[in-house]
Structure 1
């Protein structure tokens, strides 16, 4: 194995937050932006910083476009579904999924109106809190999830629907489980630990229950399918199955259900977690929401709902949302990649099938690309004259051929939900800002941010 820096980590002393936050920075300072660690006996190539990751995922996009296995969820997916597929299966599923998402309005006026409508439902539930303390977790996840539900299932759910709430609870729990120290330990030593019972089996049953819900929805759609009038993503997939026999679309029990689960999961947890952490950051830095309220009042006022076309006139709001995403650093390691063939990279040979971790966290905090990389500072995305400033190191959705399918939808949701909420309400913390703790509870595959309560009062 020709990469020069093979480093055995003392696993018994290791915790996930050290491995995936502190170690890459420290090791890259000593060994450079490309180095190798061993998860058990398996070599893993780690890429740190904007330049190295861009060179791999963008400049050598095809070679680095494979998807590496995550052992904690491999028993659920087995390489099926658009997120975990490889080769021709992945190409077909990604192309098809993008087409359907766009046909159902992603990036268009139709989905904007759906988000605006859902934001109004959310405002009503906030009003019902009557300025009393509450945990915003499921308030936000219900609203965000209903957007992707309207695409994949063809309908929104009532906020009190018990099955819907159960799904969101399972999703929240699985998001935490996959980032626990035990899951990280299992991912390193799965070849040995898979023969033993333990906490690593818990996530399998959570995801399997979610898959079974989707399986029931597929059967409902099959019974009422009109090929001339598809209602949702599931209908479109069923119709495609009839059009293209003997392809990946025929693996219905796997690709349809698991791609739907991928979209449902990613379309709910990532945006809702960013909104929830964004609220916490705004309460920690009260000078920021003051400026946000001023810009919202000036550009939008109070007589109409925010629209996506307002974003170009609201550079400070746009900068704040980008900075929330940057600091949230929700998927710090990215979903693992795989090199699809023997690859020459920076003078080294990386053998086909080697797992790659592009450390998005090191890009989002790259001091060469951000003015204040370690602080929450909207000025990271503002020019001196106050105009919004793009930054090619802003990669919360990853980059290259595996960039997030729903980036356009997520960006629209974040802008419309944030502005609609702040147009009507002021966020009120339960403690003084200096005492608010914004450090993550866990930092493994994803970051689990603090659970908290707040009050929302009319603006």
Structure 2
């Protein structure tokens, strides 16, 4: 009888403790008046079971509106979606939303350095320098356009070597795009078959896909739990950290090569310019100009300028396979404006088709057919290009993509060069490629094969 009473007392104590913890959790995390609405969070866990992808966020927005709140663990997060509200946050009130939200995973990778995840004075100085460099070596010089045109030739030659048979274009496109940003950072291109180069690209691709893994998303919510429980000390988040450590080792080697033959009077690329800036800003320690930050800034430029462009071009080719009548229209315009006897150049720019999945680009109030591939969104009644205010493929405001000029150049020249020479078609005898995306950080097509035949 005494034993049963002792057990009852223990259970009662545990129940009281649990109820007290519930009360503390509720009082600590209850929303203030007029806080954006959202689904009811679970005690201690919050809304982690809703999911982390854009599809999950769309469902919440449909129920609670374009401004809603979630709780991830003990942290409140406000989400803003739709063209009007996103424009308000990024542009109208951009100065109030300059800082990046803290991410334990990316803090582990970047150590609060680089451009993408740093904040405050350091971010302003690093971004200011990077924008100035890209403008100097990009917009202000014909050299960059000539380099991308040269890379278009290597890209088309690689397609030509497939002899019209089925192949997966991802590796070829990724190599070409990486050489676009590589020219700005390293001042040179890499052969598509170079082992170190391909290893770096493979590690980056793997990491981008793993970021969408639920365990990785949970690591960002409960990093202390993953670091303390033995069973959670391995997993996709560890693979990501290992991959980026290897990528940064590759970058450090390239930086050391630059230091050996650095010329203060002839800056060939971003690394050369940054090395010179380290000496100029040595008294301004808060600006963060040092050799290790050069590694992180170089990583930022590569990540931002490679995976996004690669997947945009893959989506473009995938849509050409799915919508051959649109491909015919594109090729007809290329034929009438450029022909096939010379290379495309930026002076030929006209109609662009850029596929991106976000709440702004699928805003039902801004787009006639928001959920469908429709190039007519960007054409007026006469078939001429028209600018759309709700088109934010590079974000907007002061945190907009600093590589937008290069990205627009690459997308136009790579895509136009391919469609100028090849007709893209599905592989015979295989299932039609899917338009369902994969990944969370970057929405990429699932692996697919195509045939590229001359026309």
The interval holding the TM-score normalised by the smaller chain is 0.7 to 0.9
Indicate the structure whose relative CO is greater, using CA pairs within 8 Å and at least 6 residues apart. Answer: 1
Contact kept, 8 Å, 2:38 with 2:64, in 1: the verdict is no
User: Could you tell me which of 120, 126, 130 is aligned with 2:163?
Assistant: 130
User: Could you tell me which of 243, 267, 285 is aligned with 1:206?
Assistant: 243
- Matched ranges for 1:18-97 at <5 A: 18-97=51-130
Q: CA deviation at 1:194?
A: 3.2
Q: CA deviation at 1:15?
A: 6.7
User: Could you tell me which of 254, 261, 264 is aligned with 1:217?
Assistant: 254
Kindly provide the CA deviation profile for residues 265-315 of structure 1, in whole angstroms up to 9, marking residues without a partner as x. Answer: 21111111111121111101111101111111111001110111111xx33
User: Is 1:102–2:101 an aligned residue pair?
Assistant: no
Please give the TM-score of this superposition, normalised by the length of structure 1: 0.86
Query: Could you tell which deviates more after superposition, 244-253 or 138-147?
Result: 244-253
The list of structure 1 runs, each at least 4 consecutive aligned residues, that deviate by more than 4 angstroms after superposition, is 8-16, 248-251, 431-434
Give the distance between the partners of 1:107 and 1:25, measured in 2 at CA: 41
Give the distance between the partners of 1:58 and 1:128, measured in 2 at CA: 46
Kindly provide the CA deviation profile for residues 138-165 of structure 1, in whole angstroms up to 9, marking residues without a partner as x. Answer: 1001111111111111110111111111
Contact kept, 8 Å, 1:33 with 1:52, in 2: the verdict is yes
Paired residue for 1:445? 441
Query: Could you tell which deviates more after superposition, 24-33 or 447-456?
Result: 24-33
Q: 1:386 to 1:178 in 2, by over 3 A?
A: same
Q: CA deviation at 1:188?
A: 2.3
Give the distance between the partners of 2:377 and 2:41, measured in 1 at CA: 34
Root-mean-square deviation (Å):
2.1
Q: 1:107 to 1:271 in 2, by over 3 A?
A: farther
Q: Secondary structure at the match of 1:426?
A: strand
User: Could you tell me which of 266, 275, 287 is aligned with 1:229?
Assistant: 266
User: Is 1:376–2:373 an aligned residue pair?
Assistant: yes
Contact kept, 8 Å, 1:427 with 1:457, in 2: the verdict is yes
Paired residue for 1:430? 427
Give the distance between the partners of 1:218 and 1:387, measured in 2 at CA: 46
Q: 1:77 to 1:381 in 2, by over 3 A?
A: same
Give the distance between the partners of 1:268 and 1:255, measured in 2 at CA: 20
Kindly provide the CA deviation profile for residues 403-440 of structure 1, in whole angstroms up to 9, marking residues without a partner as x. Answer: 00101110110011111111111112025899431101
Contact kept, 8 Å, 2:200 with 2:247, in 1: the verdict is yes
User: Is 1:405–2:442 an aligned residue pair?
Assistant: no
Kindly provide the CA deviation profile for residues 375-425 of structure 1, in whole angstroms up to 9, marking residues without a partner as x. Answer: 011111122221212111111211111000101110110011111111111
User: Is 1:258–2:296 an aligned residue pair?
Assistant: yes
Give the distance between the partners of 2:398 and 2:226, measured in 1 at CA: 32
Question: How many positions carry a matched residue from both structures?
Answer: 416
User: Could you tell me which of 228, 233, 254 is aligned with 1:197?
Assistant: 233
User: Is 1:284–2:286 an aligned residue pair?
Assistant: no
Please give the TM-score of this superposition, normalised by the length of structure 2: 0.87
Paired residue for 1:141? 174
Q: CA deviation at 1:74?
A: 1.8
Give the distance between the partners of 1:389 and 1:368, measured in 2 at CA: 18
User: Could you tell me which of 325, 337, 340 is aligned with 1:302?
Assistant: 340
Show structure 2 runs of 5+ residues with no match. 1-30
Query: Could you tell which deviates more after superposition, 37-46 or 69-78?
Result: 69-78
Give the distance between the partners of 1:4 and 1:114, measured in 2 at CA: 49
Show structure 1 runs of 5+ residues with no match. 330-360
Q: CA deviation at 1:39?
A: 0.6
Give the distance between the partners of 1:264 and 1:64, measured in 2 at CA: 25
Paired residue for 2:211? 178
Paired residue for 1:456? 452
Paired residue for 2:388? 391
Give the distance between the partners of 1:384 and 1:9, measured in 2 at CA: 49
Q: 1:306 to 1:400 in 2, by over 3 A?
A: same
